[in-house]
Amino acid sequence: MAKEVLPGIFQFKVPIPNNPLGWVLPYLIPSDGGYTLVDCGWNTPEAFAALEEELRDVGATFDDIKTLLVTHVHPDHYGLAGRIKEVCDAEIVIHQRERDLIRSRYRQPEQLLERMATWLTENGVPDSEMSDLQQASMPARAFVSPVEPDSVLWGGETLDLGEYAFEVFWTPGHSPGHLCFYERKHKFVLTGDHVLPSITPNVSLHPQQMGNPLGDYLASLQRLEPLEVDQVLPAHEYEFKDLPKRVREIIHHHATRLDEMLAIVGEDGATGYDVASGIVWTTGTFDTFSFWMQRAAISETLAHLEYAVQDGRLTQTKRGGVVRFELTKNQEQ
């Protein structure tokens, strides 16, 4: 049942089958002559039907969607974009950094798979697990109907949608071109996966997201923190009020997790794989995870280790084609 979270703005609930997240929360915003939909859901018949029913609830159809704004191109946010484009020719709008991922991730993944194999080997993944981890995200491609955006955002724009004016915040970290939309006058923000009320989004270093993603993520959290916000509208779980408190909790979570990882690196040093498989994760231990979760754990670990390399706590060396992390000497004393 569509829920009116602010005057005229509806929160939809679209199921993600067989996934612990349960659902994604798209938002429908009225604008001149129709609606803007923010995020859409996996490309499954159930999700499509749920979206159609939610639209019917508010007296709309797919034809009324003029624009589909996508916070990032993960399957649960972008999966139905191609189908929506087919049924109503909505304008598809995505951050330019996300557009760059569509081809390599969803259309022609061969080169990415090759790069992934090299990268997993470099980070200590044993040969026996390589192929399963390399292929881990291929099944998710079935849940995406890819489409190119009609226009791209960069961050810093203002989108005038009827009564509401949304400032576009580029918030890289969970995904390189993740977007949040802030409404200053009415004091609310659509946070996508960037800030969720009880879970933390995966922040990963991987072949498509190099650099310092955890550093980017924490910096983009800190940019949201000072905004005046009475209501946070995330893309999973449920809406909540206290943005600064949640930002502080998430920052604390990553600091604690990084300390745990540094302890595993310890005196002897370790590979990314050693650390990922030694951590007790919120959702269980490494050996109980699916291949997809194991790879997410490795890339999340490497985002933390890279962050510590950047701030000088760790040193990275490559020997025999494998990267090892060690505590930086002058820090140990």
Residues making contact with Zn ion (CB under 5 A):
74, 76, 193
Name which of 194 and 324 has its Cβ closer to Zn ion: 194
Residue 151's Cβ-side half-sphere holds a number of Cα atoms within 13 Å equal to: 10
Q: How far is the CB of 271 from Zn ion (least distance, A)?
A: 26
Q: What's the rounded Cα separation, in Å, for the pair 275 and 148?
A: 38
Q: How far is the CB of 174 from Zn ion (least distance, A)?
A: 6
| Three-state DSSP state, 96 | helix
Q: Which two tokens stand for residue 44?
A: 């499954």
Name which of 54 and 76 has its Cβ closer to Zn ion: 76
Q: How far is the CB of 68 from Zn ion (least distance, A)?
A: 16
Q: How far is the CB of 77 from Zn ion (least distance, A)?
A: 6
Q: Which residues contact 259 (CB under 8 A, 6 or more apart)?
A: none
Name which of 193 and 216 has its Cβ closer to Zn ion: 193
| Three-state DSSP state, 182 | strand
Q: Are 120 and 130 in contact (CB under 8 A)?
A: yes
Q: How far is the CB of 235 from Zn ion (least distance, A)?
A: 5
- For residue 318, the cross-strand partners are 323
DSSP 90: P
Name which of 247 and 308 has its Cβ closer to Zn ion: 247
Name which of 30 and 79 has its Cβ closer to Zn ion: 79
For Zn ion, the nearest residue by Cβ is 74
